[in-house]
Structure 1
Amino acid sequence: MSHSLLRGTTALVCLSLALPAAAQDDSGFLGTLILTGGKRDLSFGTALSRTVVNEEEIEDRQASTVAQLIDSVPGVTLVNGTTPQGSGINIRGFGANTTYGTDQKIAVMIDGASVGSEELYRIGTQLFTDPLLYKEVEVLRGTIGSFAYGSGIVGGVVKLETKDPMDYTGGVPGFGGSQAFEFSSNDEGKVSSTTLAWQPTERAGFLLNYTWRDQDDLTAGDGTTIGNSAFQTPSGLAKATFSFGESDEHTLSFSYSQTVADDKDVPYDQFDTSGGTFGNVDRLTDTSQAVIDYRFNPANDLIDLRANLSYADQIIEYDYVPGSSPLEGTPTFPFLLRTVEADQRYETTKFTLSNRSLFNTGSVQHDMMSGVELIRRDRADNVDAGAPGGVDNRLAVFVVDEMTMGQFSVTPAVRYEKSRVESAGAFGTFRNDALMGGLALSYDLGNGVSVFGSAAYTEGLPIIDDLGATPTALYRMNTPEKSRTFEIGAEYTGTDVFSAGDRFSIRGNAYATRLWDVTSYTVAGSTSQNLDHVYSEGVELEASYGLANGVYFDLAGHVVQGSEHNPDGTSTVWRNTPADRVQLTVGRKWGDDLDLSWEVVHSADKRDALGGGLSDSTVHNLRATWRPDHGVLDGTEVRFGIENAFDLDHIGHLSSPTRKSPGRTFKVSLSKTF
């Protein structure tokens, strides 16, 4: 790694080791300890780079999309705006990019269902859902924590968990629910979210949620209108949970969620702000997920069995708006028309059976997760839109075993996966397989200090998107992408550190990733010659400090650099490298009644989607949450926020040069739980 990043890592480690002594906390790779001194929960006692955004923060941030919600996590970048169709999630330089909504190197799951995994040209991440359907979003960065979730994961994993009936009924028979309204000044944004829950017995619960979100075209800091930023997305969630058995050792849940957008006369290119060459279309996007989850957890340390069956379906239908493309009437227009009117459908069915066992072998304690996974992806054939059809069948087995010996933990992880991709056309059938894995180490030094490190190797098996008849396509269908990642870091957590009753937590880690046998990225300016390899390295930091009087400080940030290397030996800056960023939140809580905070986000080394340099930016956000706890107002929450308080005129990192970020936005929300 570069000297600058090594110096940053050394500073983080030294800072952790120099902190005052405090009570020692339990550690674990699979089981983690959640601590907080401020607004965000931090995970400690684990070698994973893991961040959890809980329900309170989801509501406080008043985000319009999940991508907009988690871009505050170190290493995560929101690519191309804040609309559901156009925005994308990039983690450590992988995932969404300036052409496609994904490069298959991050995984996104809703209650275990795999979503947002198609390489659609200029469409965004396809994580097409509403943040208010969820009670938690977990982000795992890097490869080491990914082996139970998929292959070829370099950037990380985003896991969303939908709300449960018992969250509203308190686990006792009866009715519960909530109603929330939100309004924003930029521009006339409106949200209504209604949740109804019913628990007829202690062992059964039902939940319904309907969320309607409406947004007109946004205004930038300079007062100009941001084209193609309006949307209207009704979303729904239905969930049922049951428990049975003598000691409720069996649990069963059913969930179904759906988001629909019926957009009229909008640009086909969702990354841009105008129709451009492609022109405009009427687009209907319908995304749904259905999940059945069963768990058997008897009073036996060797058995904690879980079976998860999921189905994700996305349908996108297009109709060209006559007269909207400058190519209309030219010889190339018939081909363009076939492209922009090509309907698309993607279905993913997945079954995962896993078991977690706790046992000892001599002086070694084991916490072992093992499982088998069956995946089937069906994609409608649509070569005209650059989306060849076919079926991708996969079988995978995985084992993750945390072995603890006193203060020292060793966690090997392994995954074997094989695939069979069969073209719906005449491109043939391709078989591939891979064995991948990693090793995580952690050592508890006592006094609240621990150090950790990991090494991980993964392979991305060929996908339906790469089908074709060209030599480049044949190479890609027979060549899995490979990557390895090394991480090292340290963490500290303690109470009564600087003053009585305070709590301080800090975690820093450095990583280095190399991707080779590249099939998802070509040399700049070429459509067929693949990059030789990609190298990315960075330092991430999370810290939280809370005083007994309610004052708190949350800090998160990352410094990243990367390079892409061509077959001729030349190299340049990795096109998807995240901007360097630091985020500081200062606030105060008065019990559970009132929370006031000021958030400052500074980004440096920014570039737009075309590689052009952008100015550094510092954005200020103010938030207030009031929870009256008496009389008719008991259960009411009032939130007020000002985003981009100083109306900064700027463009987000890796965004289209024409797509500016929103200017000053006032938001107010009112919710009532009953």
Structure 2
Amino acid sequence: MRARTPLRAALMCGVATLIAMPAWAEDDDDIIALDPIYLGKSKREVQTDIAESETIIGQEEMNDRQARTVAELVDSVPGVTLINGASPQGSGINIRGFGANSTYGNDQKVLVQIDGASVGSEELYRIGTQLYTDPELYKQVTVLRGMGGSFEYGSGAIGGVILLETKDASDFTGGEIGMRLRQTLQYHSNGDGLVSSTIMAWQPTENIEILGNYTWRQQGTMQDGSGNDIGNSAFELPSWGLKARAYLDPDREHRMELSLTDTNAEDRDVPYDSFGTTGGSFGNVDRDTHTRTAVVTYGYNPVDTDLVDFTLRYSYADQQIDQSYVPGSSPLEPTPTWPFLEPLLNTDHRYETSKLTAKNVSYFSTGGISHNMRAGLEWSERTRLDASSAPGGTDERIALFVVDEMDFGNGLTVTPGLRYESQNIGDGVTDYDNSALMGGVSAFYAFSSGWGIFGSAGYTENMPIIDDLGTPLYMTQPEKARSYEIGFSYAGTSIFTEADSIAFKATAYVTDVWDVTSYTTTVLGVNYPIADVETKGLEIEARYTMDTGFYMDVNANAQRGTYSAPAAPTGSQTGDWNNIPADQLRVTFGKRWGEEVDLSWEVVADAAMTRSTNPSPSNVVNNLRATYKPQSGVFEGVEIRASVENVFDRTYTQHLATRTAPGRNFVLSLAKTF
């Protein structure tokens, strides 16, 4: 993944500003004035000059989406599907058929990091993904689909990686000395949701910046398109964040950074099964969830060499889930089944993940090849609290990684990557050791016409997890996967008019997973282990802009998958992979009037899904959005955003979800930076 914005991509996508530069001949008497060119912009750039399947969601798009959860920030990315998503409890993120499912919120095949801290827990039965944090804390989300580009972040990223980056004070001060305050107020009509986000950004000197962020979000019970209550959808989510950066010398070669995030959720008398809408057989619990991260970073980037851009980062992520059963809420109490069920409900969970990463980025040349090399050493330790319903233990790992982006100067870029990881996992009585060498290579060739072709191949291993300590066979059997991708892209201007631009990228992929330990299939009421999974799919990202301000974004995904279970009693049991999302097409039509007004209409169409034991019908949802940012007058600096989600109040359940989707929702937000 590149850390810089390529010049060509910047020119293609442009900015919604008037670019006018006079061209002067060497003779002062000859003045040639170029006509101003207005390069429009859409909601999102398409990464047309890299082989990796990467999508970056920036601050402007995050503001316009007015998302209730972090999950709702990424659901517009092709290949990303939400398991529920309008509320943090019972939600999950699925990428290319891996990640969350209706039983567990995480299968360890989608990695999530906040400012470099690895967050999320393991397989907690029917408690969801536990990604309790607020979208107002972040300024950018990067989604890497598939294992391409993942080797510097971790192992086992078969589905992909989600990188969350918190806001900085300089985002509001512009790097100038002073203090800025930003206040955002938001209202959601469906569920009477209220949001208040207060940000204080202070820059006492040019080399020191401090930001504090406090967000309060609450939502009542939502309703679907038929006016029925969606159970277990109400929540309160207070969150705060602190971010500080200090350069320690005048040349800014040495820097220190601190990032803290903290989110609490208190749920009372709610279903234990957070995927469901009622207590069901499990009954209800009182559940307190506390999620926090702390990241301390030292950076050294000397001005006299490109060989050293060194960071030493320590991160700590802690998630604590305390829950107690609400007496009398389960129909199984008291029955012979109850003694086996009760420990599941009256139990506390806690995950603590510490990580120390030393990483260096080098820019250098060998012959005619330019290198952007990222190399590092990483130590991590995850500790899980011993619970009556799940084993406790420690997972300690040491990893080495190197990724070298090699530019041959003729349009060809080749990027090999390697990761070696060693693991010691156990409960203090029985320990297991595993190690693996993982890696891949990608290549991108850019033609002078604006076309590009690319391909990649990768191999990764998903190491055993603490949750499987009770199954010795699984503790020495990492899940293995390989993936192949191929595709093409195009970026150009003056396509249909003299001042329009287009960019699109199409990626086809195949992923094979074997030695599987995460999934089972049911035959005649008995669960049998699935041995291997194969998925394949096609993703498309495109955008078109005109100098008139018109723009269009297109995102599409189609995927297929199969599994096999050789141990099934009927022989090798095969079938469609149930975690595959429905085929989806998402199109946005929009019009901008300078920096002041942005109107857009989004259409999301899901095809009927019949390749599943839980089929779902097709559905089409329309969303309208409007942004008004006055550039002069008494309201200058005010940002007004309004949207209507599910305009026609459709009643539907997205495939893979366990709850009906919310009905029509009017959203209004006001923001101002003082």
3-state SS of paired residue (1:670): strand
2 CA distance for matches of 1:177 and 1:168?
Answer: 8
* Matching residue of 2:442: 440
* Matching residue of 1:492: 490
The aligned runs of 1:198-213 (5 Å cut-off) are 198-213=202-217
**1:29/1:45 contact within 8 Å kept:** no
Are positions 1:361 and 2:366 aligned together?
A: yes
Q: Give, in angstroms, the shift of residue 272 of structure 1.
A: 0.2
3-state SS of paired residue (1:43): coil
* Matching residue of 2:32: none
Deviations 1:236-270 (A, max 9, x none): 00111111223112222101111101111100110
1 CA distance for matches of 2:634 and 2:231?
Answer: 43
Q: Give the residue type in structure 2 aligned to 1:672.
A: K
* Matching residue of 1:172: 176
**1:144/1:454 contact within 8 Å kept:** yes
Deviations 1:286-321 (A, max 9, x none): 000001122211121111111111000001111211
* Matching residue of 2:413: 409
2 CA distance for matches of 1:143 and 1:605?
Answer: 28
* Matching residue of 2:350: 345
Q: Give the residue type in structure 1 aligned to 2:315.
A: S
2 CA distance for matches of 1:507 and 1:156?
Answer: 18
TM-score by length of 2: 0.92
2 CA distance for matches of 1:77 and 1:337?
Answer: 33
The aligned runs of 1:32-431 (5 Å cut-off) are 33=6, 34-35=9-10, 36=13, 37-299=41-303, 300-382=305-387, 384-385=388-389, 387-405=390-408, 406-423=410-427, 428-431=430-433
Q: Give, in angstroms, the shift of residue 527 of structure 1.
A: 6.8
3-state SS of paired residue (1:290): strand
**2:653/2:661 contact within 8 Å kept:** yes
2 CA distance for matches of 1:436 and 1:336?
Answer: 40
Q: Give the residue type in structure 2 aligned to 1:663.
A: G
Deviations 1:482-506 (A, max 9, x none): 0000000111111112111111111
**1:60/1:625 contact within 8 Å kept:** yes
In 2 relative to 1, CA 117–342 (structure 1 residues): closer, same or farther, beyond 3 Å? closer
3-state SS of paired residue (2:263): strand
* Matching residue of 1:605: 608
Q: Percent identity?
A: 50
1 CA distance for matches of 2:443 and 2:508?
Answer: 14
2 CA distance for matches of 1:29 and 1:217?
Answer: 42
Q: Give the residue type in structure 1 aligned to 2:522.
A: A
**1:351/1:375 contact within 8 Å kept:** yes
Q: Give, in angstroms, the shift of residue 44 of structure 1.
A: 2.5
**1:41/1:54 contact within 8 Å kept:** no
The aligned runs of 1:577-596 (5 Å cut-off) are 577-596=580-599
Are positions 1:523 and 2:525 aligned together?
A: no
**1:29/1:47 contact within 8 Å kept:** no
**2:271/2:282 contact within 8 Å kept:** yes
In 2 relative to 1, CA 337–240 (structure 1 residues): closer, same or farther, beyond 3 Å? same
1 CA distance for matches of 2:199 and 2:5?
Answer: 30
3-state SS of paired residue (2:247): strand
2 CA distance for matches of 1:170 and 1:264?
Answer: 43
In 2 relative to 1, CA 210–46 (structure 1 residues): closer, same or farther, beyond 3 Å? same
1 CA distance for matches of 2:574 and 2:3?
Answer: 39
3-state SS of paired residue (1:100): coil
2 CA distance for matches of 1:315 and 1:491?
Answer: 44
Q: Give, in angstroms, the shift of residue 523 of structure 1.
A: 2.7
* Matching residue of 2:478: 480
2 CA distance for matches of 1:563 and 1:31?
Answer: 38
Deviations 1:350-386 (A, max 9, x none): 111111111111122211110011000011001x32x
* Matching residue of 1:16: none
**1:32/1:45 contact within 8 Å kept:** no
2 CA distance for matches of 1:613 and 1:407?
Answer: 45
Structure 1: stretches of 5+ with no match in the other structure: 1-27
2 CA distance for matches of 1:445 and 1:605?
Answer: 39
Q: Give, in angstroms, the shift of residue 31 of structure 1.
A: 4.6
* Matching residue of 1:533: 532
* Matching residue of 2:31: none
Q: Which moved more, 1:405-414 or 1:253-262?
A: 405-414
**1:204/1:242 contact within 8 Å kept:** yes
2 CA distance for matches of 1:202 and 1:30?
Answer: 23
2 CA distance for matches of 1:527 and 1:70?
Answer: 36
**2:179/2:202 contact within 8 Å kept:** yes
Q: Give, in angstroms, the shift of residue 637 of structure 1.
A: 0.3
3-state SS of paired residue (1:167): helix
Structure 1 consecutive aligned stretches of length 4 or more whose deviation exceeds 4 Å: 28-32, 525-528
In 2 relative to 1, CA 590–663 (structure 1 residues): closer, same or farther, beyond 3 Å? same
**2:654/2:661 contact within 8 Å kept:** yes
Q: Give the residue type in structure 1 aligned to 2:344.
A: T
Q: Give the residue type in structure 1 aligned to 2:457.
A: A
2 CA distance for matches of 1:570 and 1:67?
Answer: 34
Q: Which moved more, 1:428-437 or 1:333-342?
A: 333-342
**1:457/1:484 contact within 8 Å kept:** yes
TM-score by length of 1: 0.92
Q: Give, in angstroms, the shift of residue 590 of structure 1.
A: 0.5
RMSD value over aligned CA atoms? 1.5
**1:496/1:502 contact within 8 Å kept:** yes
* Matching residue of 1:552: 551
Q: Give the residue type in structure 1 aligned to 2:442.
A: A
* Matching residue of 2:664: 664
Deviations 1:513-543 (A, max 9, x none): 0000101112334776321210000000000
* Matching residue of 2:20: none
Q: Give, in angstroms, the shift of residue 647 of structure 1.
A: 0.5
**1:279/1:321 contact within 8 Å kept:** yes
**2:517/2:531 contact within 8 Å kept:** no
Structure 2: stretches of 5+ with no match in the other structure: 14-40
2 CA distance for matches of 1:149 and 1:90?
Answer: 18
1:650 pairs, out of 637, 649, 652, with: 652
* Matching residue of 1:574: 577
3-state SS of paired residue (1:339): helix
Deviations 1:422-451 (A, max 9, x none): 215x5x111000001001111112111111
Q: Give, in angstroms, the shift of residue 565 of structure 1.
A: 1.2
1 CA distance for matches of 2:49 and 2:311?
Answer: 24
2 CA distance for matches of 1:442 and 1:402?
Answer: 11
1 CA distance for matches of 2:645 and 2:456?
Answer: 38
2:465 pairs, out of 463, 469, 475, with: 463
